[in-house]
Amino acid sequence: MEKRYKVLRIIGTVLKILAWLTLVLGILASVGVLVGGLAGGGALSRFGQQYGVHLALGVVSSLVAFAFSLVFTVLYFLGLYAAGELIYLLIAIEENTRSTAQWAAHNRGL
Three-state SS for 13-82 is HHHHHHHHHHHHHHHHHHHHHHHHHHHHHHHHHHHHHHCCCCCCHHHHHHHHHHHHHHHHHHHHHHHHHH
| Separation CA 65–CA 75 (nearest Å) | 15
Angle at 4 between CA 92 and CA 14, to 5 degrees: 75
> What pTM was estimated for this model as a whole?
0.79
Query: In this predicted structure, what is the pLDDT of residue 94?
Result: 95
Rounded mean pLDDT for each run of 10 residues along the chain, 110 residues in total? 89 98 97 86 62 64 91 98 97 94 83
Say whether 109 sits in a helix, a strand or coil. Answer: coil
Query: In this predicted structure, what is the pLDDT of residue 42?
Result: 61
